[in-house]
Each structure stands twice: as C-alpha cells, then as structure tokens.
Amino acid sequence: MRLLLKTTAIALALTAAAGSVKAAGHGGVEVLHWWTSGGEAAALNVLKDDLEGQGIGWTDMPVAGGGGEQAMTVLRARVTAGNAPTAVQGLGFDIIDWAKQGALANLNDVAAAEGWDAVVPAALQHFAKVDGVWVSAPVNVHSTNWVWANKSVLDANGISVPETWEDFAAAMETLAAAGVTPIAHGGQAWQEATVFDAVAMSTLGPDGYKAAFIDLDPEALGSDAMKEAFDRMAVIRANVDENFSGRDWNLATAMVINGEAGFQMMGDWAKGEFLNAGQVPGEDFLCFRFPGTQSQVTFNADQFMMFDQGGSVSTEQAALASAILSPSFQSAFNVVKGSVPARTDVSDADFDACGKQGIADLAAAASSGNLFGSMAHGHANEAAVKNAMYDVITAHFNGEFDSETAVEELVTAVEIAQ
Ligand code: GAL
C-alpha cells in the first residue's frame, strides 16, 4: 500500500514536471526539492523571494518525502528522459555521484569571483567541489544528533535535560508511567536511521562511529558497542506510540509541539516546525544533543546541484548559486530552517539559542576532530551502502531481528553493498 502511494506521488510529480519545463524556460529556474513541511516551505520562500526580487522566475518542483528518497527517484527519471531540472536539492555522496557521471555544470567562475574556497568549511567542500570543480551550492549545515523536547511536559514530570543514556531511559520511564508518549517517532527507514546516527555515536564513540560508518570496518560494524546501539534502539522502540508506522517526521514533531509526546530525536530541521508553530526555544521547547554525544556533530548539508543544461552554466544558475552563498541569505534562510550557515563568516546574531548552539557546536566539533558525515543522510557513504544499513536498522526496529542478529546482518549487508 505504501509503495503504491509512493509510486502515485512520483507519477504525479513527473506529470507536473512535464508541464513545468516550459514555464521554467528562459529567464527562470526549475528547482527540484523535498521541502514540503510547514517549516521547510517557510525557509524555501526566503530563497524564492530572493530570486524573484532579482527578476528570476522560479518553477517549483516539490517531491514530498523526508530525507529525499522519492525526490531522488524523480530526479533519476528526469535525467534518464533527458530533461534534468535546472537545480536540484542534493546530499553528500549523491552529489559526488552525479558529478562523476558528468551531469553537473561547472560553477568555478562564480565560486572564484565570490571566494567560496575561503569561506565554505572543508567538510562541505568535500561534497561540493569534485575533482577541483565546484558543482553545487551549499545552503546549510544540518546535524542529526539532536533531541527536541516539550518543556512543560518535562517540567510537569520533574524531568531535567538528560545527560546520559541512563538519565534518558529514566525520563522515558517516567513519561510512560504518566501516560505521555515518551518518544514521538515516524516509522520510516530514514527516520530510524536518523535516530541510529545518534544512538550509535553514543555507544561507539567518535572513533567507532568513523570506523563503522565511514571506513566500513567489519570489526567496528560487528562490535559489542554496535550490539549495544541496537539494544538501545529496542528501548526506544518500546517507548513510541502504537501508530508510529509510516508517520511523517513533521507529524511526529507536532506531537512534541502539542504535548502529546515528550521527546523527538531528529535533525535540526525539526526546529523549523517549532518556529513555524510560533514556539520559542527555552520557553516552549528544548534542544539538546543526544545524551553521550554532547561533543560530537553528525552533519548533513543541503546543497543545490546545478544540472548541465547543455553548455556552460546558465546566467540563472549562476545567479541562484550566488544568491545561496550570500552571507545575508545564509543568515535569513538558516534562521528559519533550523540549520546553520554553510559559511564560516556569518554572524550568529540573528539566530535563536538552539541556532547559536548549533553554530558553536559545529565550529568546536570541526576543530576537535568530532565532526562526522551523517550515515543516515548520505554523508558517510554512497547510496548503496546507506540503503543496506537502512534495511537492517529498520528491520531490527520492527522486531524482525534481535540485536545480535542485526549486528551480523549489518556486517553482511555492508559487505555485499560495496
Ligand atoms: C534532510 C534534509 C533536510 C530536511 C530533512 C527532512 O535530508 O537535509 O533539509 O529536509 O531531510 O525532509
């Protein structure tokens, strides 16, 4: 059923796209993205307005589905049909993949004119500049190891911000006893993997996370610490409500916003939903790093890949790239989106408490060797490996494997996927 719905959504998106190409035409851009929740759409409007202010038309090509899996399916179909959109939201290894296929335009002129090399962090350049060529424009830096909490629910139950896994487990128990859903969760593979990013970081530690998810070391993948990560996932699974299956991430965020649930483990795009609902950090909701990962940042950066339209980069593509990298846009957009700037020279003055923490955490993690690409959001490994991990994590979450079997399956699945 879910597959059918997805296929229908993709078919509709493709039909819409066929009609929209002309509209994009000359003087405009067609932008494929998956920013369809309330908070995401509010952030996207900052970009649309910026471009429209420059007289550049915007043809919107939204493909719903958190994490972008469906958007990438539509993209592949469009490219195969010889009808690539002008600009496409992309993540990590997917960008490198499209660049290696020769599908992306060369942005080196605009990058050189605007000095991107000096202001975009090295961790992002790794995915934006492939073989010396800038192929995409980084919009932001998100990170996945956050927890979001309803402040009055926590206060009413005498719970303070958990520092350790044991604190967190105790808080879940208290909420369950009080009849509140401890964890708001959406049962979709990418969401389970997002939770796993933080949980595995807490049990494996930074070296173990890197060894397992980035270096794909079979020993780290098959370690006792990995089994413990799966054990913790089982505890989390026991603390979600019975309707979690298939729920979209923003609906899970809404459960925390309206006090139905205590916590959500999700990337900082969740903050966009709290802000969109008029909530204030520190007053209505809390943001904190997943217990045991306070010094680490698992990041993913949204970028816009510029697809080669048969020649050099178009004026509109260059204008879009330039608008995205402008310091004022980087502040205005990321304040709304929940992410932090993709440049190191943007002031944190306009950011709220969570945003200021995000900016400081990112800088500290980058300089102390604690910044790692997110496994769940395509910044640790290519799609085949990521999807192999998704399958095991989600099967375990849904009770198909116990933790010991999940560890064995993980080692095997990753070996096969490489
Ligand atoms: C991430 C993306 C975010 C947000 C999230 C949920 O992959 O980086 O910007 O959109 O998915 O859709």
Closest by CA to 60, choosing from 91, 93, 27, 85, is 85
Is the CB of residue 190 less than 8 Å from the CB of residue 66? yes
Q: Which atom of ligand 1 is nearest to the CA of 267?
A: 5
* 269 pocket-lining for ligand 1 (C-beta < 6 Å): yes
* pLDDT of amino acid 24: 43
Instruction: Report the percent of the chain where pLDDT is more than 90.
Output: 93
Segment 354-366 shows an average pLDDT of 98
Structure tokens at 152: 């009055």
pLDDT at 203 over 80: yes
Structure tokens at 219: 């020993």
* 377 pocket-lining for ligand 1 (C-beta < 6 Å): yes
Question: What is the rounded radius of gyration, in angstroms, for the C-alpha atoms of the chain?
Answer: 21
> Which of helix, strand or coil describes residue 264?
strand
* 247 pocket-lining for ligand 1 (C-beta < 6 Å): no
Alpha-carbon dihedral angle through residues 18, 20, 300, 401, given to the nearest 10 degrees: -40
Closest by CA to 233, choosing from 180, 197, 270, 287, is 197
Amino acid at 61: M
> Which of 269, 339, 374 to mutate for ligand 1's pocket (most ligand atoms within 8 Å of CB)?
269
> Which of 143, 264, 302 to mutate for ligand 1's pocket (most ligand atoms within 8 Å of CB)?
302
- 13 or 63, which is more confident: 63
* 148 pocket-lining for ligand 1 (C-beta < 6 Å): no
Is the CB of residue 112 less than 8 Å from the CB of residue 54? no
* pLDDT of amino acid 27: 72
Closest by CA to 83, choosing from 156, 21, 167, 8, is 21
Q: Mention every residue, 6+ apart, whose C-beta is less than 8 A from residue 152.
A: 259, 284
- For atom 12 of ligand 1, the residue with the nearest CA is 66
Q: Which atom of ligand 1 is nearest to the CA of 65?
A: 12
Alpha-carbon dihedral angle through residues 14, 20, 26, 31, given to the nearest 10 degrees: -60
The least confident of 27-36, 198-207, 295-304 is: 27-36
Structure tokens at 272: 């966009």
Is the CB of residue 405 less than 8 Å from the CB of residue 397? no
Q: Which atom of ligand 1 is nearest to the CA of 140?
A: 9
* 142 pocket-lining for ligand 1 (C-beta < 6 Å): yes
pLDDT at 270 over 60: yes
Closest by CA to 82, choosing from 324, 302, 285, 310, is 310
Q: Residue 56 Cα, ligand 1 centroid: separation in angstroms?
A: 25
pLDDT band at 23 (very low <50, low <70, confident <90, very high): very low
The least confident of 121-130, 163-172, 211-220, 311-320 is: 311-320
Q: Residue 67 Cα, ligand 1 centroid: separation in angstroms?
A: 5
* 300 pocket-lining for ligand 1 (C-beta < 6 Å): yes
Q: Residue 329 Cα, ligand 1 centroid: separation in angstroms?
A: 18
pLDDT at 209 over 90: yes
* 68 pocket-lining for ligand 1 (C-beta < 6 Å): yes
Segment 118-138 shows an average pLDDT of 98
- For atom 10 of ligand 1, the residue with the nearest CA is 35
Is the CB of residue 398 less than 8 Å from the CB of residue 187? yes
pLDDT band at 191 (very low <50, low <70, confident <90, very high): very high
Closest by CA to 318, choosing from 76, 116, 34, 102, is 116
Cα 151–chain centre separation: 24
* 35 pocket-lining for ligand 1 (C-beta < 6 Å): yes
pLDDT band at 4 (very low <50, low <70, confident <90, very high): very low
pLDDT band at 26 (very low <50, low <70, confident <90, very high): low
* pLDDT of amino acid 18: 42
- For atom 3 of ligand 1, the residue with the nearest CA is 269
Map tokens 């229908």 to a residue.
8
- For atom 11 of ligand 1, the residue with the nearest CA is 67
The whole-chain average pLDDT of the chain stands at: 94
* pLDDT of amino acid 373: 98
pLDDT at 5 over 50: no
329-340 pLDDT per residue, tens: 999 999 999 999
pLDDT band at 246 (very low <50, low <70, confident <90, very high): very high
* pLDDT of amino acid 35: 97
pLDDT at 410 over 60: yes
Distance (Å, whole) CA 204 – CA 412: 19
* 213 pocket-lining for ligand 1 (C-beta < 6 Å): no
Segment 275-300 shows an average pLDDT of 98
Distance (Å, whole) CA 323 – CA 340: 16
36-81 pLDDT per residue, tens: 999 999 999 999 999 999 999 999 999 999 999 999 999 999 999 9
Q: Residue 376 Cα, ligand 1 centroid: separation in angstroms?
A: 11
Segment 2-8 shows an average pLDDT of 44
